[in-house]
Structure 1
Amino acid sequence: MPRPITGTGTGTRRSRGPLRRVATAVATAATVALGLLPGGTALATTGAKGGASATPVVTRAALAPSLVAGRGASLGMAEQEAENAATNGTVIGPDRTAYTLPAEASGRKAVRLTPGQYVEFTLPSTANAITVRYSIPDAPHGGGITAPLDVTVNGANRSTMTLTSQYAWLYNQYPFSNDPGAGLLHPDWWITECSCVPAATTPAPAVPTPFRPNHFYDEQRLLLGRTYHAGDKVRLTVPAGSRAASTVIDLLDSELVGAPHIDVVAANVLAFGADPSGRRDSADAFDKAIAFAKRARLKVYIPAGTYQVNRHIIVDQVTIEGAGSWYTVIKGHQVDLRSPAPDGSVHTGVGFYGKDASAGGSSDVHLSGFAIEGDVRERIDTDQVNGIGGAMSDSTIDGLYIHHTKVGMWFDGPMTNLKITDNVITDQIADGINFHTGVTRSVVSNNFLRNTGDDALAMWSEKTGNARNTFDHNTVQTPVLANGIALYGGTDNTVSNNLVADPIREGSGIQVGSRFGAEAFTGHLWITGNTTVRAGTYEMNWNIGLGAIWFYALEKDIDADIQVVGDTFLDNTYNAVMLVADFPVKDLYSITNVHFKDIRVDGTGTSVVSARAAGSASFENVDARHVGAVGVNNCGSFNFTPAGSEFSLIDLGGNDGGGTTGAWLAPWELPNTITCDDRPPVVTPPAPSPW
Structure 2
Amino acid sequence: MPENRRNPRKRPLAAAAAVALAASGLTVLTGALGAPAALAAGGSGATVPFVEYEAESASTNGSTIGPNYTQASLPSEASGRKAVTLNGGQYVEFTLSAAANSIDVRYSVQDGRSGKLAVYVGSQKVGDLNITSKYSYVDTGWIPGAKTHKFYDETRMLLGQNVAAGAKVKVQVDDSSAGPVTIDLADFEQVAGADAQPANSVSVTSTGATPNDGSDDAQAFRSAIDTAKSQGKTVWVPQGTFEIGSSLQVDNVTIQGAGQWYTVLHSNNPFQNGGAQGNIHLKDFAVFGEITERNDGSPDNAFHGVLGANSSVTGLWIQHMKCGLWLMNGASSHLTISGNRILDTTADGINFDGNVTDSVISNNFLRSNGDDGLALWSNGAPDARDTISNNTVVQPQLANGIAIYGGTDQTVTGNLVRDTNALGGGILVANRFNATPLSGTITVSHNTTVRAGALDPNWQFGVGAFWVDARDSSPNAAIRVTDLRAVASPYEAIQFIDGNGAGKSINNVSVDGASVEGVGTFVVQSQTGGTVSLSNITASGVGVTGTYNCPYPSSNQPMTFTGSGNSGWSGTWADCSTWPAPGSGPGNPPANGNLALHRSTTASGQADVYAPGNAVDGNANTYWESTNNAFPQWITVDLGSAQSVSKLVLKLPPSSAWGARTQTLSVLGSTTGGSFTTLSASHGYTFDPASGNTATVTFAAASVRYVRVQITANTGWPAGQLSELEVYGS
How many residues are matched? 571
Query: What is the CA–CA distance in structure 2 between the aligned matches of 1:125 and 1:460, rounded to whole Å?
Result: 40
Alignment CA distance shift 1:505-1:55 (3 Å):
closer
Give per-residue Cα distances to partners, 1:12-64, cap 9 Å, x unaligned.
Answer: 5311347779xxxxxxxxxxxxxxxxxxxxxxxxxxxxxxx996634459xx9
Aligned pair partner of 1:66 in 37, 48, 65: 37
Partner-residue secondary structure (3-state), 2:440: strand
User: Which amino acid in 1 is paired with 2:568?
Assistant: G
Partner-residue secondary structure (3-state), 1:98: coil
Query: What is the CA–CA distance in structure 1 between the aligned matches of 2:394 and 2:282, rounded to whole Å?
Result: 24
Alignment CA distance shift 1:154-1:438 (3 Å):
same
Query: What is the CA–CA distance in structure 2 between the aligned matches of 1:295 and 1:308, rounded to whole Å?
Result: 24
Aligned pair partner of 2:26 in 57, 65, 69: 57
Aligned pair partner of 2:324 in 401, 408, 421: 408
Alignment CA distance shift 1:288-1:600 (3 Å):
same
Shift, 1:582, TM fit: 3.2
Query: What is the CA–CA distance in structure 1 between the aligned matches of 2:64 and 2:469, rounded to whole Å?
Result: 37
Partner-residue secondary structure (3-state), 1:491: coil
Shift, 1:213, TM fit: 2.6
Give runs of aligned pairs for residues 606-625 of structure 1, distance below 5 A: 606-625=521-540
Query: What is the CA–CA distance in structure 1 between the aligned matches of 2:237 and 2:139, rounded to whole Å?
Result: 38
Give per-residue Cα distances to partners, 1:533-592, cap 9 Å, x unaligned.
Answer: 001110110110111111111111113100000110000101001111135422xx2111
Shift, 1:518, TM fit: 0.7
Give per-residue Cα distances to partners, 1:229-271, cap 9 Å, x unaligned.
Answer: 101111101014x222200000000011111111242101111
Query: What is the CA–CA distance in structure 2 between the aligned matches of 1:216 and 1:498, rounded to whole Å?
Result: 25
Alignment CA distance shift 1:594-1:433 (3 Å):
same
Contact kept? 2:239, 2:258, Cα under 8 Å? yes
Give runs of aligned pairs for residues 160-309 of structure 1, distance below 5 A: 160-171=128-139, 173-174=141-142, 212-240=147-175, 242-265=176-199, 266-309=201-244
For 2:277, the equivalent position in structure 1 comes to 362
Contact kept? 2:43, 2:416, Cα under 8 Å? no
Query: What is the CA–CA distance in structure 2 between the aligned matches of 1:469 and 1:231, rounded to whole Å?
Result: 43
Alignment CA distance shift 1:525-1:387 (3 Å):
same
For 1:112, the equivalent position in structure 2 comes to 85
Give runs of aligned pairs for residues 3-22 of structure 1, distance below 5 A: 9=1, 11-17=3-9
User: Which amino acid in 1 is paired with 2:192?
Assistant: G
Aligned pair partner of 2:560 in 628, 648, 653: 648
Give runs of aligned pairs for residues 305-344 of structure 1, distance below 5 A: 305-332=240-267
For 1:637, the equivalent position in structure 2 comes to 552
Query: What is the CA–CA distance in structure 2 between the aligned matches of 1:215 and 1:381, rounded to whole Å?
Result: 17
User: Does 1:84 pair with 2:57?
Assistant: yes
For 1:125, the equivalent position in structure 2 comes to 98
Contact kept? 1:311, 1:351, Cα under 8 Å? yes
Contact kept? 1:56, 1:124, Cα under 8 Å? no
User: Which amino acid in 2 is paired with 1:649?
Assistant: F
Query: What is the CA–CA distance in structure 2 between the aligned matches of 1:581 and 1:552, rounded to whole Å?
Result: 5
Aligned pair partner of 1:577 in 470, 489, 494: 494
User: Which amino acid in 2 is paired with 1:66?
Assistant: A
User: Which amino acid in 1 is paired with 2:564?
Assistant: G
Shift, 1:601, TM fit: 0.5
Contact kept? 1:563, 1:594, Cα under 8 Å? yes
Query: What is the CA–CA distance in structure 1 between the aligned matches of 2:453 and 2:368, rounded to whole Å?
Result: 17
Instruction: Give 5+ residue unaligned stretches, structure 2.
Output: 14-21, 584-596, 599-616, 620-730
Query: What is the CA–CA distance in structure 2 between the aligned matches of 1:484 and 1:395, rounded to whole Å?
Result: 24
Give per-residue Cα distances to partners, 1:486-532, cap 9 Å, x unaligned.
Answer: 11000000000000000110101011121111111000100000000
Partner-residue secondary structure (3-state), 2:165: coil
Query: What is the CA–CA distance in structure 2 between the aligned matches of 1:321 and 1:172, rounded to whole Å?
Result: 35
Shift, 1:637, TM fit: 3.1
Identity across matched positions, percent:
39
Shift, 1:85, TM fit: 0.4
User: Does 1:351 pair with 2:265?
Assistant: no
For 1:681, the equivalent position in structure 2 comes to 581
In our comparison, the structure showing a higher alpha carbon Rg is 2
Aligned pair partner of 2:299 in 384, 409, 415: 384
User: Which amino acid in 1 is paired with 2:581?
Assistant: P
Relative to the length of structure 2, the TM-score reads 0.75
More displaced 10-residue stretch of structure 1: 318-327 or 554-563? 554-563
Contact kept? 1:450, 1:479, Cα under 8 Å? yes
For 1:156, the equivalent position in structure 2 comes to 124
Partner-residue secondary structure (3-state), 1:597: strand
Aligned pair partner of 1:523 in 408, 419, 440: 440
Alignment CA distance shift 1:601-1:417 (3 Å):
same
CA RMSD of aligned residues (A): 2.3
For 1:142, the equivalent position in structure 2 comes to none
Contact kept? 2:25, 2:54, Cα under 8 Å? no
For 1:541, the equivalent position in structure 2 comes to 458
User: Which amino acid in 2 is paired with 1:648?
Assistant: T
For 1:399, the equivalent position in structure 2 comes to 315
For 2:514, the equivalent position in structure 1 comes to 599
Alignment CA distance shift 1:10-1:635 (3 Å):
farther
User: Which amino acid in 2 is paired with 1:657?
Assistant: G
For 2:725, the equivalent position in structure 1 comes to none
For 1:657, the equivalent position in structure 2 comes to 568
